[in-house]
Amino acid sequence: MQTLTRPGSTINRLEVGRRSPLMRAPATGSRPRLVRTCHVVDIENLVGQPESGERYSRSAFLTRARELSSAYRSKWVDGSDLVYVGCDASLMLEMLMDWGRYSVRFGRGADGADRALIKVVDIDAVARSCDVLQIASGDHAFADLASEARSRGLFVRVVSRSGALSGDLRRNSDGIYTFA
């Protein structure tokens, strides 16, 4: 994979794989169209934990989650995209306020939000209506979803914190963006 850097960006490093979907090839006589993306956003995985190794306070976590949510939406989400967001049920009110116009899923316990997200994504329907599956998480739980998406011809892009991307998810993706 080739690595490109975008200085000054919250999400600043891109590794480009074999193929990149900028536009879908037009049918004969029609105009090319921009790609449609299905976003699977694991907000807790994107936020991570402070470098000190301590846990975030609830208010610090929510502040960081809002910053990342805003940066993610402004950089990646287009009006025609499908967006699924997952988080722990204890964050329900705040995440509905931040992501309410999209499909927000809640889970409980270890990997609860991951399971809720994976359950809601109908990969066959996504493959029929989208060109890209973008997984905003570095969690290994999404590796099988990425593999299924690639087998159906979708371009799989991953957005993850630096150093938090599982090897299985990396191997099943076509492009990777990382941020600090």
Q: Which pLDDT belongs to residue 11?
A: 39
What confidence tens digit (pLDDT) does each residue in 131-144 have? Answer: 999 999 999 999 99
Compute the distance between CA of residue 14 and CA of residue 22 in angstroms, rounded to an integer: 15
In the numeric block, which tokens belong to residue 178? 């990382």
CATH class of 33-179: alpha beta
SS3 88: strand
What confidence tens digit (pLDDT) does each residue in 111-158 have? Answer: 899 999 999 999 999 999 999 999 999 999 999 999 999 999 999 999
CA dihedral 129, 68, 160, 52 (to 10 degrees): -160
What confidence tens digit (pLDDT) does each residue in 59-103 have? Answer: 999 999 999 999 999 999 988 899 999 998 988 888 888 888 899
Binning pLDDT at 50, 70 and 90, where does residue 180 land? low
On the CB side of 139, how many CA atoms lie within 13 Å of its CA?
24
The total of other beta-carbon atoms located within 10 Å of residue 150's CB is 15
SS3 155: strand
- The structure's pTM equals 0.81
Largest CA distance in the chain: 58
Average pLDDT score over residue span 9-34:
47
